């Protein structure tokens, strides 16, 4: 990776200018200003519901959702803040575990259909259940909490049943990105699904993927303790050149999310000692 081609200053400036208020404190964490940031972080935690989860789209008093809870904690996990937010993280993990179905899969809580949810958040679709299970598993592994071990094992068993060596999963590509490192972490790189899934990832034309997708793939490997994996280096080589002249990396979800993607990439680079 050619680190000299990254304009860190521009990226930080544009995030400071455009990022959502709920995200800006993460810049301070990247800069190592942890003590100064703790009061802000405590304030952010006040948004949580009593069940330990974060509300839908971070809207106060909405139901807690798996997506919002993972979204809030993912960068804190990447920043290795497990000990600092251990109580809140434990409650978030308990919330996620509580929504695992007896068959081993996850899907968003009842009531999500009454909200303006995205297609992949809707209940009752196997493709969504596979996707939600994949991201929940990867998050639980990244939490490093032993209390999640049983739920992780059950989720792994569910995904094994839904896997096809020919096509992978009947789900969104994100399911594959999250599952492969999780299976390597739990089953080893010689596990048939881990091996075949990694082969599939290695056939992807990474330069055709938006920066947000590449960043998510890297996050999934880091969560699984695989930041030094060869595929992470490959992803970084494709990600770095995608920074534009304004300092932003572009999101697949539209320009309103470009600053979020850029902030996530700064967090990743910080974790990988590339800043």
Q: Predicted confidence band at 1 (pLDDT cuts at 50, 70, 90)?
A: low
Please tell me whether residue 46 adopts helix, strand or coil conformation.
Answer: coil
Are residues 91 and 119 in contact, defined by beta-carbon separation less than 8 angstroms?
no
Are residues 186 and 156 in contact, defined by beta-carbon separation less than 8 angstroms?
yes
pLDDT of residue 123: 97
Q: What percent of the chain has pLDDT over 70?
A: 99
pLDDT of residue 64: 98
Average pLDDT of the chain is 95
Task: Look up residue 46 and give its two tokens.
Answer: 């006040």
Return d(Cα 64, Cα 220) in angstroms, integer. 23
DSSP-assigned beta bridge partners for residue 164: 168
Please tell me whether residue 116 adopts helix, strand or coil conformation.
Answer: coil
Q: Count Cα neighbours of 182 within 13 Å in the Cβ-side half-sphere.
A: 28
CA quadruple 47, 256, 270, 56: dihedral sign: positive
pLDDT of residue 23: 82
Correct CATH for 3-271 of 1.10.3470.10, 3.30.390.50, 1.50.10.20, 3.10.110.10: 1.50.10.20
Q: What is the largest CA-CA distance in the chain?
A: 51
Taking only the tens place, the pLDDT of each residue in 149-176 is 999 999 999 999 999 999 999 999 999 9
Are residues 238 and 207 in contact, defined by beta-carbon separation less than 8 angstroms?
yes
pLDDT of residue 24: 85
Q: Predicted confidence band at 3 (pLDDT cuts at 50, 70, 90)?
A: low
DSSP string over 66-94: HHHHHHHHHHHHHTT-TTTTHHHHHHHHH
Task: Give the residue, 137 or 28, on which the prediction is more confident.
Answer: 137
Other beta carbons within 10 angstroms of residue 264's beta carbon come to 25
Q: What is the pLDDT averaged over residues 242-250?
A: 95
Which has the minimum average pLDDT: 32-41, 84-93, 154-163?
32-41
DSSP-assigned beta bridge partners for residue 168: 164
Q: What is the pLDDT averaged over residues 118-141?
A: 97
Q: What is the pLDDT averaged over residues 59-83?
A: 96
pLDDT of residue 182: 98
Nearest to 71 by CA among 247, 266, 260: 260
Check whether 53 has a pLDDT greater than 70.
yes
Write down the domain spans for the chain: 3-271
Return d(Cα 6, Cα 9) in angstroms, integer. 9
Are residues 141 and 93 in contact, defined by beta-carbon separation less than 8 angstroms?
no
What is the phi-psi region of residue 139: left when phi exceeds 0, alpha when psi lies from -120 to 50, beta otherwise?
A: alpha
pLDDT of residue 4: 58
pLDDT of residue 19: 85
Q: What percent of the chain has pLDDT over 90?
A: 91
Task: Look up residue 227 and give its two tokens.
Answer: 């930041």
Q: What is the pLDDT averaged over residues 104-115?
A: 96
Q: How far is CA 150 from CA 140, 147, 159, in A?
A: 11, 7, 15
Check whether 274 has a pLDDT greater than 80.
yes
């Amino acid at each position: 990776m050619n680190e000299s081609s990254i304009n860190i200053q521009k990226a930080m400036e544009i995030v400071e200018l455009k990022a959502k208020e709920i995200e800006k404190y993460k810049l301070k964490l990247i800069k190592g200003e942890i003590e100064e940031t703790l009061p802000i972080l405590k304030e952010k935690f006040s948004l949580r519901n009593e069940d330990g989860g974060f509300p839908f789209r971070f809207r106060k008093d909405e139901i807690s959702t798996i997506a919002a809870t993972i979204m809030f904690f993912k960068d804190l996990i990447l920043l290795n803040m497990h000990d600092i937010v251990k109580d809140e993280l434990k409650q978030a993990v308990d919330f996620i575990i509580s929504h695992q179905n007896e068959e081993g899969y996850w899907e968003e809580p009842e009531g999500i259909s009454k909200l303006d949810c995205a297609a992949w958040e809707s209940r009752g679709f196997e493709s969504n259940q596979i996707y939600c299970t994949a991201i929940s598993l990867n998050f639980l592994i990244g939490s490093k909490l032993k209390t999640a071990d049983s739920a992780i094992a059950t989720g792994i068993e569910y995904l094994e049943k839904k896997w096809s060596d020919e096509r992978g999963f009947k789900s969104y590509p994100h399911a594959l990105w999250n599952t492969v490192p999780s299976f390597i972490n739990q089953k080893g790189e010689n596990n048939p699904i881990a091996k075949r899934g990694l082969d599939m990832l290695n056939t992807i034309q990474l330069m055709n993927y938006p920066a947000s997708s590449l960043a998510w793939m890297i996050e999934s490997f880091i969560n699984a303790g695989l930041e030094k994996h060869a595929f992470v280096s490959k992803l970084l080589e494709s990600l770095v050149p995608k920074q534009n002249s304004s300092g932003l990396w572009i999101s697949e979800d539209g320009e309103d999310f470009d600053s979020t993607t850029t902030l996530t990439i700064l967090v990743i680079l910080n974790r990988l000692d590339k800043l």
